[in-house]
């Protein structure tokens, strides 16, 4: 880790395999347009590029992306390439495969033999000769089944040198165990935040016991996902803690998440430079034991898992040729 002083270091560090990262990272999903996955009015291209560069200036060295993060005129991977290449030596870029989208935005799910093409597409878009971390993103309909064949295909690509480390996303504890029997797993990327269900809280603790990074998504939005947190009694409690510290509600949600354990990372996304600075600063926010207990006791509403369905939805059994997102 570089010996420079920067805001990101106040959140502490963790390792994705042999790759040290600051615990507050950056999610690229929102760079291409309004969520989800850029399906909306595209953001200003130069503004998106400047946000990425500013994130690195603030010390962020963990960026989460995917080839399926694109809109009609923007690709998150292309923006990252344009903004940051040649990449800083300490920058870790994680991506995910299994879901795909055709040029119209329709979802499809890759067969094991198609994962190589998805990995190569990420490599091409990012301008890399290998990917630091690739997460196998499990479809919503696949959370009760085996992921062995798909994860095994990624393990072969790791052996071939296209991937440095592997992770899993939107998984159960049983699927994590199945993956670990095949190849090392450095991170689990699942939905998590205030109000997370008991099974997700147990998985977070289990990852800590195994020394695996737990990387929540929708940590700020909670059950509201792309729509943001719902207004109600729970939000009022979060707001009260935010007022006590003179910070924003998203900062409190991020701080609460990070205080779940030293192995917990954050990848909040934004296209706003001011929100970016606030997100990074949340790594320095320390909530008291009483505040943590109050927030933890809020309603345990089940947080949805996996990408929402778009149009007719991404059927798990559909397969097509791999196309290039634009």
Contact 96, 66 (CB under 8 A): yes
Cα 278 to Cα 188: distance, rounded to the nearest angstrom: 25
Contact 78, 27 (CB under 8 A): no
The neighbouring-strand residues paired with 133 are 94, 165
Contact 92, 133 (CB under 8 A): yes
Which 8-state DSSP code applies to residue 44? P
Contact 143, 305 (CB under 8 A): yes
How many other C-beta atoms lie within 10 A of the C-beta of residue 61?
A: 26
In the numeric block, which tokens belong to residue 18?
């042999």
The residues, any chain, with a CB within 8 Å of residue 177's CB and separated by 6 or more, are: none
In the numeric block, which tokens belong to residue 231?
């207004």
The residues, any chain, with a CB within 8 Å of residue 254's CB and separated by 6 or more, are: 24, 219, 220, 266, 268, 279, 282, 283, 285
Say which of 22, 69, 87, 192 is annotated catalytic: 69
- Does the annotation count 22 as an active-site position? no
- Segments of 129-258 assigned E as strands: 131-137, 163-169, 187-189, 213-214
Helix axes 289-296, 249-258, angle to 10 degrees: 100
Cα 242 to Cα 238: distance, rounded to the nearest angstrom: 6
Give the residue numbers annotated as catalytic, written as ranges: 69
């Amino acid at each position: 880790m570089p010996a420079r002083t920067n805001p990101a270091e106040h959140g502490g560090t963790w390792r994705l395999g042999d790759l040290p990262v600051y615990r507050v990272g950056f999610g690229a999903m929102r760079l291409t347009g309004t969520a989800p996955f850029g399906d909306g009015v595209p953001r200003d291209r130069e503004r998106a590029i400047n946000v990425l560069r500013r994130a690195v200036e603030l010390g962020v060295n963990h960026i989460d992306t995917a080839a399926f993060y694109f809109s009609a005129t923007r690709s998150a991977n292309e923006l990252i390439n344009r903004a940051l290449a040649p990449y800083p030596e300490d920058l870790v870029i994680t991506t995910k495969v299994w879901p795909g989208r055709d040029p119209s935005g329709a979802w499809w799910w890759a067969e094991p033999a198609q994962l190589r093409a998805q990995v190569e597409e990420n490599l091409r878009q990012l301008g890399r000769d290998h990917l630091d971390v690739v997460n196998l993103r499990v479809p919503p309909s696949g959370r009760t089944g085996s992921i062995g064949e798909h994860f095994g295909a990624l393990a072969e690509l790791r052996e071939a040198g296209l991937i440095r480390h592997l992770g899993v996303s939107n998984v159960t504890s049983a699927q994590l165990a199945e993956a670990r029997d095949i190849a090392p797993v450095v991170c689990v990327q699942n939905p998590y935040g205030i109000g997370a269900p008991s099974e997700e809280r147990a998985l977070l603790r289990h990852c800590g016991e195994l020394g695996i990074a737990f990387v929540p998504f929708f940590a700020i939005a909670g059950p509201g996902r792309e729509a943001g947190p719902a207004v109600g009694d729970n939000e009022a409690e979060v707001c009260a803690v935010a007022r006590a510290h003179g910070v924003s509600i998203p900062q409190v949600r991020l701080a609460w998440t990070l205080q779940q354990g030293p192995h917990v990372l954050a990848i909040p996304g934004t296209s706003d430079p001011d929100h970016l600075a606030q997100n990074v600063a949340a790594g320095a926010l320390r909530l008291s034991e009483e505040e943590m207990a109050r927030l933890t006791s809020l309603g345990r509403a089940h947080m949805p898992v996996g990408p929402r369905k778009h149009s007719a939805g991404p059927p798990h059994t559909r397969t097509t040729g791999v196309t290039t997102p634009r």
